[in-house]
Amino acid sequence: MNEIKEYTEKMFEDIKRVDENGNEYWYARELMIVFEYSLWQNFHRIIKIAMNNCKNSNYNILHHFIDVNKMVQVGSKTTRKITDYKLTRYACYLIVLNCDPRKKVIALAKTYFAIQTRKQELSEMEYSCLTEDEKRFYQRNLTKKGNYSLNIAAKNAGVKNFDRFHNAGYKGLYNGETANEIAKRKNLRYREDILDNMGSVELAANLFRITQTEEKLINDNIKGENSANDTHYNIGKNIREVIAKNGGTMPEKLLTSNKSLKELEKEIKINER
């Protein structure tokens, strides 16, 4: 039973995504396959029931069931638009409750999403109580995971020069600055990680850049190194424009943290001795 549970958790973890705020979500069409439904019409009917349950529980449907469109290839030169949903853990749990209970994967999914929903409730409440350095550690961990997924998506798009690819995103977000130029402005040592020296707000902006670029590369089926680089640049630039529109502080104007996360880690280890 333990082996089955571990396998099932991996199934859900493999299709899990993370947004700019660190919130996890799943795409309905990917979840449909894991839940062993072959027809979208049948699974969509279950989603509609779950949405109604969400409404009856006085939760905002639009917050938990986000309607998104995707372009899919149906022929060698033909594409068409299909409907999909970005689902929160709570939305996934409501869907599970309305799926065929005779399926073993559904029985296990009930436990998985119930536990994960509770974990997220705790993390959201606890985040606001974290110190600035604790928030930095939290956001940095998410950017590491995000960059790992982004690199996979970029490789699938045809990217070979990853330094140029990542610099394209930085240039868009930082008004033309490359990673090396950001490091120099922050007075960092050679090869010192710029992300380890950012505050939580700056890290969150970069996490948004990372997750949105990955999603764009996958959903729009971007192919070619130049196209991938342009996509990363445009995402970074768009986020910069949103920050400016909302009256926020530009990333390059945010203060560099006094200590890098690696320095803080060393101090923590020393204090624990």
Per-residue 3-state assignment (H helix, E strand, C coil) for the chain: CHHHHHHHHHHHHHCCEECCCCCEEEEHHHHHHHCCCCCHHHHHHHHHHHHHHHHHCCCCHHHHEEEEEEEEECCCCCEEEEEEEEECHHHHHHHHHCCCCCCHHHHHHHHHHHHHHHHHHHHHHHHCCCCHHHHHHHHHHHHHHHHHHHHHHHHHHCCCCHHHHHHHHHHHHCCCCCHHHHHHHCCCCCCCCCHHHCCHHHHHHHHHHHHHHHHHHHHCCCCCHHHHHHHHHHHHHHHHHHHHHCCCCCHHHCCCCCCCHHHHHHHHHHHCC
Whether residue 168 sits in one domain with residue 53: no
Question: For 122-172, what is each residue's pLDDT tens digit?
Answer: 455 666 677 888 888 888 888 988 898 899 999 999 999 999 999 999 999
Whether residue 137 sits in one domain with residue 89: no
Whether residue 120 sits in one domain with residue 84: yes
- Structural domain including 86 reads 2-127
Whether residue 118 sits in one domain with residue 29: yes
Question: For 80-136, what is each residue's pLDDT tens digit?
Answer: 788 899 999 889 988 988 898 888 888 788 777 875 555 555 455 666 677 888 888
Question: For 243-252, what is each residue's pLDDT tens digit?
Answer: 998 899 999 9
Domain stop point among 103, 127, 151: 127
Examine the pLDDT at 224 and tell me if it is beyond 50.
Answer: yes
Instruction: Supply the pTM of this predicted model.
Output: 0.58
Whether residue 61 sits in one domain with residue 92: yes
Whether residue 141 sits in one domain with residue 252: yes
Whether residue 122 sits in one domain with residue 168: no
Whether residue 138 sits in one domain with residue 106: no
Q: Mean of the pLDDT values across residues 177-181?
A: 97
Domain stop point among 67, 95, 127: 127
Name the percent of the chain lying above pLDDT 90: 51
Tally of structural domains, the chain: 2
pLDDT at 30: 94
Whether residue 143 sits in one domain with residue 117: no
Domain stop point among 79, 99, 127: 127
Whether residue 189 sits in one domain with residue 93: no
Examine the pLDDT at 268 and tell me if it is beyond 50.
Answer: yes
Examine the pLDDT at 218 and tell me if it is beyond 70.
Answer: yes
